[in-house]
Amino acid sequence: MTLERLRAGHAEALPGFERENREYFARAVPDRGDAYFAESTDRHHALLAERAAGIRHFHVVLDADGQLVGRVNLVDVADGTAELGYRVAERAAGRGVATAAVRLVCEKAATEYGLRALTAVTTLDNAASRAVPRRCGFTEAGPLAVDSRPGLRHRRELLLQGARRP
């Protein structure tokens, strides 16, 4: 498994990944709607612009054959923090892909993006998704609602490169 920053060359693979897994993802999170897929080219350009501006950091997860099997994103980047989001293809689920990718993004967040903390939100009914932050050093930071479903907020403090823990 490899993690790459989103780039122009992912313009076809990313909407293909989302279409292929649309029903699978909709079981756990609200569906993105048809407009998301109809506007995929414009959306991809917008994501690249947000990445270039440093307000979001988008990543794709590739399997050993170079096929896109996941996404890990850092959004709402401000004041040294960001919110982590991740999704893995149904065919790659349960194989540790999300955990490995989130660990890599946590490292990048500290060493390359200069972030001090990350938050993640999961629903209570998605045990697999809830396990990823726990495995990656996040702690539960309180309950919340996710599209009217019970959820949890998770938080992880990051160690900046060259910094020492108190």
Please report, to the nearest 10 degrees, the dihedral formed by the alpha carbons of residues 121, 123, 127, 130 taken in order.
10
Q: 23-48, pLDDT tens digit by residue? A: 999 988 888 889 888 888 899 999 99
Torsional class of 86: left (φ above 0), alpha (ψ -120 to 50), beta (otherwise)? beta
CATH code of domain 2-157:
3.40.630.30
The CA distance from 47 to 36, in Å, is 13
pLDDT, position 95: 96
Predicted local confidence at residue 160, as pLDDT: 65
Dump pLDDT digits (tens) for 119-158.
999 999 999 999 999 999 999 999 999 888 899 999 999 9
Higher per-residue confidence, 32 vs 49 = 49
Q: Where are the domains of the chain?
A: 2-157
Close Cβ partners of 148 (under 8 Å, ≥ 6 residues apart): none
In this prediction, residue 164 has a pLDDT band, given cuts at 50, 70 and 90, of very low
Let me know: does 13 contact 65? Beta carbons within 8 Å: no
